A and B are shown apart, each in its own frame.
Chain A
């Protein structure tokens, strides 16, 4: 199988993973499309360096989260260009009835904390999370502890 074809198939298999990152790190349709472009573009740029010793989804998580956090910082420096409205949610994944609550909870978290939550929920261990986000093990442990506490204060008793 050709590398381009293989890349496309692997990305399509991880569509949900990318959607999760987009959901966590963007509010507007326009930003979501831009971030999707950035993630795919960066993933393809780095694909030649992907070694098969790791799972593609793990590698894509790492690329996607790094791009999302960098892009979020860029957007924060950029002046607001359009108001947040209901139409801006049109490309969000199919929303469940608990969607509002989830939005509120995620609104409590800092960008890196969102990444940690995402990885914890997907079953990654603390050392894996540290490695993927470039944090020390201690730092990750402390952050997880703080996240748990923050969520507990808002009625979320458990993360996983």
Chain B
């Protein structure tokens, strides 16, 4: 017996599964909906990821419990709480896109919403990276020397407090932020790229 005959004897074009315009349209919507969910996952990742690093850096206090440790911890806490706070505040302030909107409208709303949620974060990332870089250097000194005296008494130490954040700020403005973001958050960039691509396709349809 031929397997081909066996396979072709089945009525493949007749099944109870729905292949109507509406059913396939629903799958198209689901595909877009999954990328929108990815973006919401990224917002949670920002909040919980930064909380984790905040706790991690704060634990330096238990290793070097001197008052100077409060300086880098304070800098890092300010930066991280600003990042976390801005995302939480913006999510509270702006309404989520209505999932029942027509697809092009839904994608436009989501892209606009995404921009609003990450507005402060995006604008201040270079400054945050510079400040955290300086705080990181301070933590390094604290772990090695147990104090930050060298930073306030030695001219090289004093200069490094300006030079280190300056270099990081310069690099951040030259694309360091975006390349780091792309490496650490590929899901975010894939999701936004997909939504933009879909919007372009659907706008062609609208035309």
Q: Which residues of A contact B (CB under 8 A)?
A: 2-5, 7-8, 11-12, 15-20, 22-23, 32-33, 36-37, 40-42, 44-45, 48, 90-96, 98-99, 101-102, 105, 117-118, 121, 151, 155-160
Contact = CB atoms under 8 A, between A and B. Distances in A.
Interface of B: 1-4, 6-17, 19, 21, 24-25, 27-28, 30-31, 34, 194, 197-198, 201-202, 204-205
Contacts, number: 115
If over half of A's interface residues share one DSSP class (helix, strand or loop), that class is named, otherwise mixed; here it is helix
B6 A98 contact: yes
A36 B27 CA distance: 9
Contacts of B10: 20, 23, 93-96, 99, 102
Contacts of B12: 15-17, 19-20, 23, 93
A121 B24 contact: no
B6 A8 contact: no
* Top 6 A-B residue pairs of the complex, sorted by shortest distance between their CB atoms: A94-B11, A16-B12, A2-B205, A40-B27, A41-B31, A91-B16
B2 A158 contact: yes
A101 B17 CA distance: 23
A160 B2 contact: yes
